[in-house]
Amino acid sequence: MIRLVIRRLLLGIPLVLIVATVAFFLVQLTPGSPAAAVLGTQATPEAVARFEASLGLDRPVLEQYAEYMGQLLTLNLGESWLTRESVSSLLASRLPVTVSLATLATIVAMVIGILIGTVAAVRGGVLDRILTAVSGFGLALPNFWLASILVLVFSLELGWFPATGYVDFARNPAAWALHLVLPVTTLAVAMVASFARQTRTGMLEQLSSDYVRTLVGAGTSRTSVIWRHTLRNAAGPVVNTAGLLFVGVLGGAVIIEQVFALPGIGRVIVQSASTRDLPVLLGAVVVSAIVVLAINILVDVIVALLNPRARTS
């Protein structure tokens, strides 16, 4: 298991550096002067030039890239051009918001999707078609539209949940949960169908296997066959789906965090891009890549625990 983690790390670290490199040069291609964007439209050309010189933006791009990568290799993400705050500190305060949002949405969608997929595979018939159609309906709903409807009904009309904002878990766990109900629901709805379909396919395949007939013939209860044996053997692809959807949620969180005013990584990316605060923007991209790497390693470990043959793959 340790060798599996080390192998994945050795493959993943170069990918993070490649992502950082691509992000750096894409930022360089954006039109306009970052210094002018930071200082505002009233800044004189002399002030812009002094600001660029103070940040080293007047140097060749390759020289700037070498310095940036050198800082990155020492885990130094620099400082915000706007607030002079450490990028690492800024992102460390925002990362838990996005991670908790994505984690809760994935868990909720996984639990509901696995239940729907399992029942659909076991029962079959009309119930199978109904559950599959209902779960698939969430894929057709745009996130921003669903978020607006949820806010209108459950916040403005019923007053059950806050419409916007975020509370730290350590300060008030109950308020933290209430503020995340609507955004988590918004993200989870679209993921339920993927989990349901993946679970249904895996369960149908396992239920037709020889070992299931052997267990039934040996007198093993149907409940035990389904929940202890069949579902576990069908869980590998479901876990892989969870990893892929979690990564997708990180991207979708940009919209959701804007709608619900959540101070997460997605909102930081939007704000830093609009103000051309490049150290924050690049730092957010690198941190997002690291989170994706960590999730992929975690998925590999879980799959290896469920299926020992995957450890050598």
Q: Is the pLDDT of residue 305 over 80?
A: no
Q: What is the pLDDT of residues 215-227, one digit of tens each?
A: 777 777 777 777 7
Q: What is the mean pLDDT of residues 264-287?
A: 83
**What per-residue confidence (pLDDT) applies to 40?**
66
Q: What is the mean pLDDT of residues 186-193?
A: 84
Domain for residue 159, yes or no?
yes
**DSSP per position, 247-277:** HHHHHHHHHHHHHTT--SHHHHHHHHHHHT-
Domain for residue 73, yes or no?
no
| 270 or 134, higher pLDDT | 270
Q: What is the mean pLDDT of residues 147-175?
A: 85
Q: What range does the domain containing 278 cover?
A: 87-205+238-312
Tally of structural domains, the chain: 1
Domain for residue 5, yes or no?
no
Domain for residue 303, yes or no?
yes
Q: Is the pLDDT of residue 15 over 60?
A: yes
| 144 or 22, higher pLDDT | 22
Range picked from 122-136, 197-211, 280-294 for highest mean pLDDT: 280-294
Q: What is the pLDDT of residues 112-150, one digit of tens each?
A: 888 888 887 777 777 667 776 766 676 667 777 888 888
**What per-residue confidence (pLDDT) applies to 165?**
82
- CATH label of the domain that carries residue 137: 1.10.3720.10
**What per-residue confidence (pLDDT) applies to 32?**
66
**What per-residue confidence (pLDDT) applies to 95?**
85
Q: Is the pLDDT of residue 306 over 70?
A: no
Q: What is the mean pLDDT of residues 256-285?
A: 83
Assigned token pair, 191: 């993921």
Range picked from 56-60, 128-132, 163-167, 181-185 for highest mean pLDDT: 181-185
Name the band, by pLDDT with cuts 50, 70 and 90, for residue 295: confident
Domain for residue 220, yes or no?
no
Give the torsion sign (CA, 307, 309, 310, 312).
positive
Name the band, by pLDDT with cuts 50, 70 and 90, for residue 307: low
Domain for residue 151, yes or no?
yes
**What per-residue confidence (pLDDT) applies to 309?**
55
